[in-house]
Amino acid sequence: MAREYLCINDKIEFETKGLTPQYVDKSNTLVLNQKCVRNGKLDYSFGRFLSDKQNITKEKYIKIGDVILNSTGQGTAGRCAFVNYIPKNYKVTIDSHMLIIRFDDINLAKFFAYSLYKQESFILKLLTGSSGQGELDREIVYNISFPYCSSNLKIFNRILTAINNKLNINNKISTELEKLAKTLYDYWFVQFDFPNDNNKPYKTNGSRMVYNEKLKRKIPFGWQVKQIKDILQEQEKSSVQVNQADNLGEYPFFTSGNDVLRCNKYLVDGYYCYLSTGGNACVKYYFGKASYSADTWCICANEYSFYLYNYLISIKNQMDMLYFAGTGLKHLQKDIFKNSYIIVPPYDCIRKYNNIVSNGYKMCSNCYLKNQELTKLRDFLLPVLMNGQVVVNDEQEDNLSEEKIIKNLYNFGKPMER
């Protein structure tokens, strides 16, 4: 099959730059900014509210099927996302550092959104203007030629949608499981309403509390207070650099950034916390074989590891203020952190907590692995489809559910199930 190419300018119906917003504390109009676009998705939680007094033309409200592209900013320009939903009861627009790109075919919009997403690092090099800010050369971006196979467009979008939906489901499962573990942590170890000897909430039922001089507060009778270094187990500092990451690597690779990368060797195997050492507090965890970069601190606390992770999450803002210091880029002051005090519940209480939450954390790590595998499958198969190297009969796929599509992806190359 002869290879075709398609650029945005061939199919674009409408495009517009965002506005300079007047922000208010609350309104019915959300304004998206550059932070709202990450990993090919929109995160509305970073949006702000637009004043009702500000006039805005209807063309500047986003619609389902639009492609949103960050147009300015070193490190953020080139990020894009497909609009697959809009929060209920809100109108949504964008600020002046972003673009709305609109097509008359939603399948083409998904194709261009994914194609731009896969070229983010290249597009970032197309900035013009000052090095601190810079702006995309839209004419160049809109004329980038992407491999395109019209006969595969339908199955391209079915696979893309099925995988992205599965990724979102796995992420939601992990989020809910973490919330449950954190809620139980707060209930047991912050409010001190863990089950007492009669299986009743400890503090609420008037069980004995004693004043601790180090913490200047009351804690349950029989609980200890130690320095964090007394329960901490540090792993050796890694020699693996971020530039050694490999998107096709077998193991999770934790860095000081928000994203988890991949690499081809592992340094630890088990439940560990991964703390950023530069910038600000970023806390991650994983259950299994993993690696970490030279700018990441890998720690555990044996049977107290789940407890430690939730403790670190609960003091994240405090860590930024108390344990990160320095001129320019701040760095984690490990000795200060290790010498700080932490409540140490009795092992019997920790064991009960672990029995409840450990399977959930293992499931979260499993969801992460599944998502990594699906992402690799997506990023291998979709370019092959649009290169025209593989032709799929649409009629054969029409009756397949998303679950069946996902299942068949794991057996790519074998006959498709009906």
Residues near 398 by beta carbon (within 8 Å), at least 6 away in sequence: none
Average pLDDT over residues 24-34: 95
Give which of 315, 355, 88 is closest to 195, Cα–Cα.
Answer: 355
- Is 50 exceeded by the pLDDT of residue 185? yes
Listed range (53-57, 97-101, 257-261) with the worst mean pLDDT: 257-261
121-130: average pLDDT: 77
In this prediction, residue 416 has a pLDDT band, given cuts at 50, 70 and 90, of very low
- The pLDDT of residue 245: 79
Q: Is the pLDDT of residue 134 over 80?
A: no
Residue 150 phi, psi (nearest 5): -60, -35
Mean pLDDT for the chain? 88
320: confidence class by pLDDT, cuts 50, 70, 90:
confident
Q: Give the whole-number percent of the chain exceeding pLDDT 70.
A: 92
Looking at residue 407, its pLDDT comes to 67
Residue showing tokens 């702000």: 48
CA distance 405 to 382: 13
What average pLDDT does the segment 353-374 reach? Answer: 93
Q: Rounded distance, CA 294 to CA 249, Å? A: 18
State the pLDDT at residue 289.
Answer: 93
- The mean pLDDT value for 191-208 works out to 95
Q: Is the pLDDT at 418 greater than 90, yes or no?
A: no
CA gap 109, 147 in Å, rounded: 15
Tell me the one-letter amino acid at 266: Y
Q: Is the pLDDT of residue 3 over 70?
A: no
* Residue (of 236, 334, 335) closest to 292 by Cα position: 236
Q: What is the mean predicted confidence (pLDDT) over 181-209?
A: 95
The fraction of the chain above a pLDDT of 90, given in percent, is 63
User: Tell me, what amino acid is at 372?
Assistant: Q
Question: Measured in whole angstroms, how far is the alpha carbon of residue 335 from the centre of its chain?
Answer: 30
